[in-house]
Amino acid sequence: MHPKVVAQSPEARVRISSADLVRLSRFGRAMQLRPGRVLARHGGDYQSPFKGRGMEFDESRLYQPGDDTRNIDWRVTARTGKTHTKVFREERERPILVWLDLRRPMFFATHGAYKAVVAARCAGLVAWGGVQHGDRIGGLVFSETAHHEIKPRRGKSGVLRLIEKIVGHPAWQGRGAGADGITGNAALVRLEHVVRPGSLVCLISDFRGLDDAAWSRISRLSRHNELLLAHIYDRFEAELPTGGRYRISNGAEELVIDAGDRGLSENHARRFRQHLQKLQQTASRDRIRLVHCSTEDDPVTLFTTALPAMIRI
């Protein structure tokens, strides 16, 4: 049984604020985001929590006999008149990228908070958890209206930049499609371009409307990165209430559903089960962590209790 969210104000159920997301910082230490076993799937399998990471520039110093001439820092050498060489260190910090879906269907709930609100809280938890473990935080926040790409940064500034882009996203104003908006499929294409091997990638969405190519991209991402899928859903999407007629709106269109129609109810429930099966099969096949979070769940309790049990040792 999932943990239920505490009582919230009407405003907190439909909008997220910077203060809401900043308050989640106190739960960062309880987040278990350390990388599990990431297997190289070409050239022989091996296990390394730092898979895909290499060397990063540390400093320039005076050239010493025996230094690799390929690492001479020509810019500093020209400026100082003395030969300098670049010093590198192994890159141990892990980038964390949050892929946050704020498309129109995410602004829906029959119980609890909007899916978008729950998703934003999940994003905040992952970001604060990463800071506590010394990781760099970035992300991609998208909708039909606009999309923002946030380059990973170290420390609190990385989280605050992500929070700024989440809270300030035009999707919260209910705007329609914009020139900078993208689909879920296109957002995964962008993610493939910006993610670095060895990252933790957290995909937060209802995962509706993705085509086969999009699911293939998720699988490809899992080959060189640690993936976490946070599936956000409302109970109405899983099963229609018994009897009655219900008017559903996405802010632009309305649909009346007759829950007394047995065939309709069965088809509705079957489609949701098929959607769950797709998620679970993908997670199992590609060794991806998967968390289901309803609009009535408390993301804090869910993430701090479910994730530790999913860590691969």
CA separation for the pair 162, 67 (Å, rounded): 40
Q: Which of 23, 95, 10, 22 is nearest to 56 (CA)?
A: 95
Tell whether the torsion through CA atoms of 17, 22, 26 and 30 is positive or negative: positive
Burial of 291 (0-12, 13-18, 19+ CB in 10 A): buried
For residues 149 and 194, is the Cβ–Cβ distance under 8 A?
A: yes
Domain 10-35+94-310 sits in CATH at 3.40.50.410
Instruction: Locate 101 and state its tokens.
Output: 């879906």
Model's pTM, two decimal places? Answer: 0.78
For residues 225 and 96, is the Cβ–Cβ distance under 8 A?
A: no
For residues 21 and 166, is the Cβ–Cβ distance under 8 A?
A: yes
CA distances from 269 to 128, 213, 272 (A): 35, 25, 5
Which residues are CB-neighbours of 214 under 8 A, at least 6 positions away? Answer: 184, 185, 188
Q: Which of 205, 174, 171 is nearest to 188 (CA)?
A: 205
DSSP classification of residue 82: S
The residue assigned the tokens 């076993």 is 37
For residues 164 and 196, is the Cβ–Cβ distance under 8 A?
A: no
Q: Where are the domains of the chain?
A: 10-35+94-310, 60-90
Tell whether the torsion through CA atoms of 263, 268, 269 and 275 is positive or negative: positive
Per-residue pLDDT of the chain (313 residues; tens, 9 = 90+): 455 544 567 788 999 999 999 999 999 888 877 554 333 333 333 234 444 445 566 788 898 888 888 889 999 999 999 999 988 765 557 899 999 999 999 999 999 999 999 999 999 999 999 998 889 999 999 999 899 999 999 989 999 999 999 999 999 987 666 667 789 999 999 999 999 998 999 999 999 999 999 999 999 999 999 999 999 999 999 988 877 777 776 556 677 777 777 888 888 899 999 999 999 999 999 999 999 999 999 999 988 887 655 543 2
Which amino acid belongs to residue 163?
Answer: I
